[in-house]
């Protein structure tokens, strides 16, 4: 079974996991990255200055495969 690594980026900065996780496919690993990102968001939404948090997915050779991001954007509206 392929091994994958995750790098988390939240309000506290980046943190890599040194533990390899086994998933049947890259799609299964991406689904887990999305779940982890949703869990991170329950602890607090992204804040300035970046207004984003992410989970980056790497293969067993630590080559980047995908990055799943949550971006918080505030759009000012002019009163009519």
Specify the pLDDT at position 50.
82
Q: Which residues, given as ranges, of the chain have pLDDT below 70?
A: 12-14, 16
- The answer to whether residues 67 and 52 touch, using CB atoms and an 8 Å cutoff, is no
pLDDT given at position 65: 96
Q: What is the pLDDT of residue 79?
A: 83
Token pair in block for residue 11: 């309000």
pLDDT score at 22: 93
């Amino acid at each position: 079974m392929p091994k994958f690594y995750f790098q988390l980026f939240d309000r506290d900065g980046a943190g890599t996991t040194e533990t390899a996780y086994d998933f049947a496919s890259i799609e299964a690993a991406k689904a887990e990255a999305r779940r982890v990102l949703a869990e991170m968001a329950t602890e607090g939404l992204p804040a300035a200055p970046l207004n984003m948090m992410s989970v980056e997915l790497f293969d067993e050779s630590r080559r980047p495969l995908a990055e799943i991001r949550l971006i918080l954007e505030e759009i000012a509206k002019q009163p009519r």
